[in-house]
Amino acid sequence: MIRAATVNDVAEIRAMIRELAEYERAVDQARATEEQLREAMFGEHPAAFALIAEDDETGEAVGFALWFPHFSSWTGTRGMHLEDLFVRPQARGGGHGKALLASLAAICERRGYERFEWWVLAWNEPTIDFYKSLGVDFLDEWRVCRLGGEPLRELAAQVPAVRDQTPAL
C-alpha cells in the first residue's frame, strides 16, 4: 500500500533517510533531524512531501519517496523533483519502488505537472536498469551543480547592492 506520510511517520522517514545514505556511501551527509523534517513536511509552509510504502501483510513501512514541486520557466508549469526514493533491502523486488513512482506520476498528472525529475548515482546500475525499464530519459548533456559550505558563503558575501531586498518567498 502507498499512502501519504503523516507527522507520525517522521521518525521512520528519518531512519530510512539514514539507510539510504548508508547505501549511497554518504551517511555523514545525512544530518537532517526529526525536528527539521517535521517542520519541512508538516510545518506552516511545507517545503517537501512524502509517500510511504507499507507491506500489505504487516503494515510495516518498507519504503518512502520524498518530493517537492519545482517550476520550469520553459514550460511555464510546475513539475516534481523526487529527492529520495528508497525501499528497504528486504522488500526490494516486491513492487514497492514502482508503486511509489506510479503514485508520484499520478500526483503529477492530477496537478498538471509536466515534468517529473530526479537524480541517480552513476554507479547505481541496478537502479538505473530499473529506471530504464520504466522508459525514463537520462539527460546526459546536463550536469548537476551544487554550491555549499564555504564556497556558498564566499559567493554570498560578494552580493552587489540591490535595490529591493524583499525576500522571494
Which residues are marked as active site? Answer: 131
- Residue 163 CB contacts under 8 Å (≥ 6 apart), including other chains: none
* Residue 144 DSSP SS3: coil
To the nearest 10°, report the CA torsion of 8, 12, 18, 21.
-100
* Residue 82 DSSP SS3: strand
The grid coordinates of residue 67 equal 518530493
Q: How far is CA 66 from CA 41, 133, 137, 168, in A?
A: 9, 22, 20, 24
